[in-house]
């Protein structure tokens, strides 16, 4: 847990993302105005200072740290991080490593963010790969999916660690003391699925987690389990499907309301609110990269200021609630249970 007598400092790669640095800086300023988090913007000082000059920041808890350059989207993540230690994402990660910041946030390409975090912060003992997860939809606000975008090819042991991470997530952010864990599969029977899923089943059975067996795809939006584990190939496809559902359904309702304009006027606001509830893109914890030995938050590359502000608040919450130490404790318990 962080010292509650001071603000939480979050190092922000101000040069990562489609709308950097303008929207990143704008979102960081808005977060600083709230007063409970101190963004530390990292990037070329001349660029950052020019952006900050657009705002009245006198007295605000916001600062800058110089980085000579930044990693571009098309560059090889691992090679670029090693060869470019003065890039904005590398400098930001070192601020966390050196205790000058409590957490790291970036709209940086996922590969570059993870490579920097692993190089400078390292992985937790007992976790081989980092993972991203969270709640996908307001239709099932107590169901989180892991992995949503990092590990395309998995081994059974990886799915077990996803389940442990998901359990910690559900306890801390969804306030569920003993979350149920389901293994995403094409059927509920134990022998179903591919080699990886079949191999993960007995590991989950013997883990000491609240494992309820296989669950099918319909469980994702109906709350069939509090934590559902799968590889990122499946998880990311499900996430993109949920994200696209708002636009697709909005277009459908819009076309129907043109045929019935009076009814459209009556239900327009209700439909809009309903569609917003379908996707939980800002779900607390959804942008955390779990397994890194430090608080690291990824935001979409197309994120604009409001998302930056929201995710800075999420990073602060992760620091204050001690998610890293909680996960280490759960890992230790699991190792004791299985040995």
Strand order in the sheet with 103-106: 63-66, 37-43, 8-13, 103-106, 295-298
pTM here is: 0.82
Neighbours of 332 (CB within 10 A): 12
Residue 327 pLDDT exceeds 60: yes
Query: Is the pLDDT assigned to residue 19 strictly greater than 90?
Result: yes
Residue positions counted in the chain: 339
* CB neighbours of residue 331 within 10 Å: 19
User: What domains appear along the chain, each with residue ranges and CATH number?
Assistant: 1-127+291-321 (3.40.718.10), 128-245+279-288 (3.40.718.10), 246-276 (no CATH)
Average pLDDT over residues 15-33: 96
- Show the tokens assigned to 7: 């603000």
Q: 336 vs 328, which has greater pLDDT?
A: 328
Output the pLDDT for position 281: 47
Give the contacts of 80 (CB within 8 A, at least 6 positions apart): 71, 87, 112, 115
pLDDT, residue 284, reads 40
Q: Which residues contact 169 (CB under 8 A, 6 or more apart)?
A: 133, 134, 144, 146, 227, 285, 288, 290
* Res 259: pLDDT: 67
Rounded-to-integer distance, Cα 169 and Cα 36, Å: 22
What pLDDT shows up at residue 5?
Answer: 59
pLDDT at 333: 76
Confidence of residue 82 (pLDDT cuts 50, 70, 90): confident
Tell me how far apart the alpha carbons of residues 260 and 272 are, in angstroms, rounded to a whole number. 17
Query: What digits encode the pLDDT tens for the residues 146-186?
Result: 999 889 999 999 999 999 999 988 998 899 999 999 999 99
Average pLDDT, the chain: 87
Lowest mean pLDDT segment, chosen from 139-143, 181-185, 251-255, 275-279:
275-279
pLDDT for 266 beyond 60: no
Lowest pLDDT segment from 196-205, 290-299, 328-337: 328-337
């Amino acid at each position: 847990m962080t010292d509650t007598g001071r603000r939480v400092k979050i190092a922000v790669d101000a040069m990562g993302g489609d709308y950097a640095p303008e929207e990143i800086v704008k979102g960081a300023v808005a977060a600083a105005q709230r007063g409970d988090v101190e963004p530390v913007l990292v990037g070329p000082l001349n660029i950052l200072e020019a952006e900050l000059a657009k705002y009245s920041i006198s007295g605000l808890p916001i600062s800058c740290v110089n980085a000579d350059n930044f990693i571009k989207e098309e560059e090889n993540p691992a090679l670029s991080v090693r060869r470019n230690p003065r890039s904005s994402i590398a400098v930001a990660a070192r601020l966390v490593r050196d205790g000058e910041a409590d957490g790291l946030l970036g709209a940086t390409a996922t590969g570059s963010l993870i490579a920097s975090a692993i190089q400078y912060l390292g992985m937790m003992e007992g976790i081989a790969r980092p993972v991203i997860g969270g709640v996908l939809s307001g239709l099932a606000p107590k169901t989180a999916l892991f992995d949503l975008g990092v590990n395309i090819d998995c081994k059974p042991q990886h799915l077990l660690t996803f389940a442990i991470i998901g359990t910690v997530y559900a306890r801390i952010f969804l306030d569920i003391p003993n979350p149920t864990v389901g293994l995403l599969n094409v059927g509920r029977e134990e022998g179903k699925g591919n080699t990886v899923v079949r191999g993960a089943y007995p590991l989950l059975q013997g883990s000491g987690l609240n494992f309820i067996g296989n669950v099918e795809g319909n469980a994702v939006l109906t709350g069939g389990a509090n934590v559902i584990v799968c590889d990122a190939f499946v998880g990311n496809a499900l996430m993109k499907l949920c994200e696209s559902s708002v636009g697709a359904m909005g277009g459908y309702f819009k076309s129907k309301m043109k045929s019935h304009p009076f009814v459209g006027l009556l239900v327009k606001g209700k439909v809009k609110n309903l569609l917003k509830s379908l996707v939980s893109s800002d779900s607390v914890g959804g942008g955390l990269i779990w397994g890194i030995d430090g608080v690291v938050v990824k935001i979409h590359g197309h994120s604009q200021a409001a998302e930056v502000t929201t995710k800075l608040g999420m990073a602060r919450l992760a620091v204050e609630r001690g998610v890293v130490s909680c996960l280490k404790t759960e890992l230790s318990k699991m190792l004791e249970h299985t040995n």
